Amino acid sequence: MSTTRDGTVGFENGKVMCVGLACVDFVNVVDSFPQEDSDKRGERYYWQRGGNATNNCTVLTKLSTPCDFMGVLGTKGAEASWIAEDFEKCGVSTVHCVRKNVQCSSATVILSIDSGTRTIIFYPRDQPQLTYEEFNKEFKGDFSSYSWIHFELTSNVPDVCNMMNAVLTCELREKPEFDCEELQEDSHSEREKVDTVLTMQASQRPIVSLEIEKPEIEDAEKSMDKADVVFISKDFAKSRGCTDAVEAVKKFQPICRLWATVICAWGECGAAASYLENPESLCVVTSPALANISVVDSLGAGDSFVAGVIHTLVRRQFIPGASLGQGGVVTERHKQVVEEAIVFGCKVAGLKCTMFGYDGIT
Ligand code: ADP
Ligand code: FRU
């Protein structure tokens, strides 16, 4: 692999790993949302593999980005073995998963045709969640087969933070072509020093991204400074007082790593992304949502958006803050790639909304 100072890097395989939860989604499609305590006839009923990270894997694979899933896979019950089979059918490897004799989680979903909403009742059952110890035991600090590792923030925040830290501080593929000591001398603040060194090493390790979706996760903010790319969901941003995607990226950028890219999708309003051009200046780019579509299934729209963005960033060999060595200024290419990624993410997510499930995404 070769690296240049303008951020171009020769990734070996462009392979992604998504770390998070797996569940089965039982989907009921209704013409309009049922009244409480009513007895209503549905329009369709099916089940599919679910969970943010597994949906990311499904869409990445459909976009031809090779992808592995890592998480706990239950082995108890018919649904558990169905999930494992479905991963295989989709071409997503589960080789690194931890198998446990537990039942998998499930979700009951109501898709309402007239409003386009998806209402999810998630039931964690035996609560299978990956721990840092299990993650560490599996990889022992060697993440060299991945270009990108994406984490879904689950309720065990300290474990997810430790896993991300393990990737950030893993053994580098090659010695970076810059002098850490020199950079540290040049930098202004302590935070800037640490963040700049971690970012300059990003070309020699997998890029780390994090999706924060669930508003109820306590201490979610503590995980934000562990990733190169941070995805904030509309629901999370709303719960923290934001009213649109631009406001959200601006609000959370200061608590992310200095050179992180922060991205927020906002339903039919599209998406926004932000990053620092230099320590004093923030750049925000936006994308509209796919226009004039007829929404039939918005379940997993956010997950499809994240997959579309990661797919683009991997293809374009994106490295956050790639040209920091050149006077601490991020290049124009950086802006183009980030914009291209959120535009593509919105296209994939919009397309997904027009069909049931994910099979029609190619
Ligand atoms: P989720 O609620 O699944 O986290 P969002 O509702 O924020 O996700 O939607 C994610 C992306 O899906 C949006 O950025 C947009 O691109 C697309 N999307 C969602 N709803 C619509 C819609 N009604 N029209 C067009 N695109 C949509
Ligand atoms: C969609 C989804 C579903 C799952 C739920 C978990 O984003 O991942 O597949 O049931 O969210 O919260």
| Cβ atoms within 10 Å of 115's Cβ, excluding its own | 12
User: Judging by DSSP bridges, how do beta strands 44-50 and 23-30 pair with one another?
Assistant: antiparallel
Please determine, for residue 278, whether its predicted confidence score (pLDDT) is greater than 90.
Answer: no
The per-residue pLDDT of the chain, averaged, comes to 89
Number of alpha carbons in the 13 Å side-chain half-sphere of residue 307: 35
Pocket of ligand 1 (CB under 6 A): 116, 233-234, 265-268, 270-271, 289-290, 293, 295, 298, 301-302, 305, 346, 349-350, 353
Q: Determine contact, residues 283/274, Cβ cutoff 8 Å.
A: yes
Number of alpha carbons in the 13 Å side-chain half-sphere of residue 66: 9
- Reported in sequence order, the residue ranges of the chain that DSSP labels E, i.e. its strands, are 16-19, 23-30, 44-50, 67-70, 72-76, 98-103, 105-112, 117-123, 148-152, 207-212, 229-232, 261-265, 271-278, 281-287
- Predicted pLDDT of residue 12: 53
Q: What value of ipTM does the predicted structure carry? A: 0.99
Which residues does 142 contact at the CB level (< 8 Å), separation at least 6? 170, 171
Contact 20 CB / ligand 2 (< 6 Å) = no
Mean pLDDT of 114-136: 92
Which residues does 35 contact at the CB level (< 8 Å), separation at least 6? none
Length of the chain: 362
The burial class, CB within 10 Å (0-12 / 13-18 / 19+), for 220 is buried
Could you report the per-residue pLDDT of 75-94, keeping only the tens digit for each? 998 888 899 999 999 999 99
Please determine, for residue 328, whether its predicted confidence score (pLDDT) is greater than 90.
Answer: no
Mean pLDDT of 218-224: 95
Lowest mean pLDDT among 87-101, 104-118, 295-309, 329-343: 329-343
Cα dihedral value 63, 64, 69, 73, nearest 10: 80
Q: Determine contact, residues 306/317, Cβ cutoff 8 Å.
A: no
Q: How far is the CA of 121 from the centre of ligand 2 (A)?
A: 9
Residue of minimum CA distance from atom 4 in ligand 2: 51
Measured CA angle at 261 (ends 257, 263), to 5 deg: 120
Number of alpha carbons in the 13 Å side-chain half-sphere of residue 171: 7
Please determine, for residue 4, whether its predicted confidence score (pLDDT) is greater than 50.
Answer: no
Please determine, for residue 341, whether its predicted confidence score (pLDDT) is greater than 50.
Answer: yes
Rounded CA gap, 149 and 167, in Å? 8
Alpha-carbon distance values, 331 to 26, 191, 229, 266 (Å): 46, 22, 17, 27
- Using most ligand atoms within 8 A of CB, pick from 46, 109, 120, 217 the residue to mutate for ligand 2: 120
Rounded CA gap, 1 and 19, in Å? 25
Question: With bands split at pLDDT 50, 70 and 90, how would you rate the model's confidence at 176?
Answer: low
- Predicted pLDDT of residue 3: 40
DSSP state of 116: T
